[in-house]
């Protein structure tokens, strides 16, 4: 049997037919950019996440840049971010003219801690913190970090590209975030058919500024009150997302099942499966295990031999990236991000994964000899 790391083509019955028919209507009506479908999706995702404001944009990287600027981050401001994340977070800070400063993450939770945030704030005196929620979880101390940032005048922007559908204490992670972003890249739990992104906020001024920035700084049709850029959400992506959102809960439940099966049934001591904190409901974006750096290469070759896909999310620390050298304003490192990068392994996990595929992965992994 062959099991891919991810299969984004496991659609519901009639999903593609519905999307195709509605796309034909867009073509007939000339709704190529914008149109009612964009507002329809923004209203639907706002209702799903119970946020005050939800806006769509061209991609997840733009979403971070828009959120940073709209929240008040300016040229030469320092912005903290975790050293274990995707490159888009680092480059977004640079692209708005700010200075990224990386802080190390926990080896146990793979996320920032309140203590590490305090350490970063005290050392770098930043204008903002970019808090990243990885692996379909939430940072375990999210509520404490939100409170700390509010009390210490640190702008908190949360990157939820991997966290749509995640709940903390029964509440959607996006509901009360000052400003948060997401990516609707096709491989995400809520994916478009191409690039798309979103910004969520509880602040009306941030929402209004974001709306202006993503449309050329436009305050009227030919009036431009700001230097923005073209980051409008496309009609076809909004159309695809409207239909995908209808099935999101079912897709998340399917993904959670995969993660829970691995945790319950894989007994190989070479892998240490992690899970979110007890107050968090995950969305099943990734299965996450840690191995010793010495064992992982052999395990990867074993998976390849048995035609099982895998991931190493992520294989390097931000501060170690060649592109970071000229832009980084400083770092706090205890070696954790580097160790995680050499130790993490992600097994296949996607919506509507068949039970026989799950069982094959479990049996194969259990038979691995370190």
Q: Could you read off the pLDDT of 273-304 as tens digits, one per residue? A: 999 999 999 999 999 999 999 999 999 999 99
3-class DSSP assignment, residue 55: strand
State the sign of the Cα–Cα–Cα–Cα dihedral 321, 325, 326, 328. positive
| Domains recognised in the chain with CATH numbers | 15-245 (3.40.640.10), 248-366 (3.90.1150.10)
What mean pLDDT is predicted for residues 195-220?
98
Q: Identify the pLDDT of residue 245.
A: 98
Task: Band the pLDDT of 149: cuts 50, 70, 90.
Answer: very high
User: Can you tell me the distance from the alpha carbon of 113 to that of 109, in angstroms, rounded to the nearest whole number?
Assistant: 9
- The DSSP-derived string for 14-42 is THHHHHHHHHHHHHHHT-SBSSHHHHHHH
- Mean pLDDT score, 59-78: 98
Q: Which residues share a beta bridge with 56?
A: 198
- The gap from C-alpha 54 to its chain's centroid, in whole angstroms, comes to 16
pLDDT band at 238 (very low <50, low <70, confident <90, very high): very high
What pLDDT score was predicted for residue 203? 98
Q: What pLDDT does 318 receive?
A: 98
pLDDT at position 243, please?
98
List, edge to edge, every strand of the sheet that includes 99-103. 53-57, 197-201, 179-183, 155-159, 128-132, 78-82, 99-103, 330-332
- Note the pLDDT of residue 273: 98
pLDDT tens for each residue of 244-260: 999 999 999 999 999 99
pLDDT at 20: 97
Q: Give the pLDDT band (50/70/90) at residue 192.
A: very high
Whole-angstrom distance, CA of residue 349 vs CA of residue 368 = 19
Q: Which phi and psi angles does 156 have, rounded to 5°? A: -110, 115
pLDDT of residue 17: 98
- Residue 88: the pLDDT is 98
- Percentage of residues in the chain with pLDDT exceeding 90? 99
Confidence of residue 41 (pLDDT cuts 50, 70, 90): very high
pLDDT of residue 61: 98
Q: Which two tokens stand for residue 251?
A: 């897709």
Separation between Cα atoms, residue 126 and residue 149, nearest integer Å: 11
CB count within 10 Å of CB 296 equals 21
Pairing assessment for the beta strands 155-159 and 99-103 based on DSSP bridges: unpaired
Q: What pLDDT score does 112 carry?
A: 98
**Tokens representing 173?**
């992670």
So what's the pLDDT on residue 219?
A: 95
Confidence band (pLDDT; 50, 70, 90) for 93? very high
Distance between CA atoms of 28 and 23, rounded to whole angstroms? 9
What crossing angle do the helices spanning 60-71 and 87-95 adopt, rounded to 10°? Answer: 40
Tokens linked to 202: 């509880």
| pLDDT value of residue 178 | 98
Gyration radius of the chain's alpha carbons: 21
Q: Which residues of 251-282 are buried (b: 16+ CB within 10 A; e: fewer)?
A: bbebbbbbbebbeeebebebbebeebeeebbb
Q: How far is CA 116 from CA 59, 79, 103, 157, in A?
A: 29, 14, 7, 16
Mean pLDDT of the chain: 98
């Amino acid at each position: 049997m062959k099991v891919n790391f991810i299969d984004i083509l496991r659609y519901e019955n009639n999903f593609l037919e519905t999307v195709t028919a509605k796309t034909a209507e867009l073509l007939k009506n000339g709704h190529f950019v914008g149109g009612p479908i964009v507002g329809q999706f923004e209203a639907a995702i706002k209702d799903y996440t119970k946020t005050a404001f939800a806006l769509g944009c061209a991609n997840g990287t733009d979403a971070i840049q828009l959120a940073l600027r709209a929240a008040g981050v300016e040229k030469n401001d320092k912005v903290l971010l975790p050293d274990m994340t995707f490159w888009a977070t680092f480059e977004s800070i640079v692209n708005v003219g700010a200075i990224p400063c990386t802080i190390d993450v926990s080896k146990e939770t793979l996320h920032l801690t309140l203590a590490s945030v305090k350490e970063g704030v005290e050392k770098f005196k930043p204008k903002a913190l970019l808090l990243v929620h990885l692996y379909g979880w939430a940072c375990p101390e999210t509520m404490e970090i939100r409170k700390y940032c509010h009390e210490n005048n640190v702008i908190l922007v949360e990157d939820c590209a991997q966290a749509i559908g995640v709940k903390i204490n029964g509440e959607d992670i996006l509901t009360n975030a000052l400003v948060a972003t997401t990516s609707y890249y096709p491989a995400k739990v809520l994916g478009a058919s191409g690039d798309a992104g979103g910004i969520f906020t509880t602040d009306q001024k941030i929402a209004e500024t974001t709306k202006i920035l993503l449309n050329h700084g436009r305050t009227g049709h030919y009036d431009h009150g700001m230097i923005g850029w073209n980051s409008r959400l496309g009609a076809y992506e909004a159309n695809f997302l409207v239909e995908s959102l209808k099935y999101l809960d079912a897709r998340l439940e399917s993904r959670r099942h995969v993660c829970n099966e691995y945790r319950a049934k894989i007994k190989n001591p070479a892998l240490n499966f992690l899970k979110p904190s007890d107050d968090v409901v995950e969305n099943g974006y990734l299965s996450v295990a840690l191995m010793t750096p010495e064992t992982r290469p052999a395990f990867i070759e074993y998976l390849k031999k048995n035609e099982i896909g895998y991931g190493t999310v992520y294989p390097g620390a931000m501060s170690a990236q060649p592109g970071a050298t000229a832009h980084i304003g400083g770092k706090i490192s205890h070696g954790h991000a580097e160790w995680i990068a050499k130790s993490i392994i992600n097994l296949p996990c996607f919506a509507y994964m068949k039970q026989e595929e799950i069982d094959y992965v479990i049996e194969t992994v259990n038979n691995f000899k370190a």
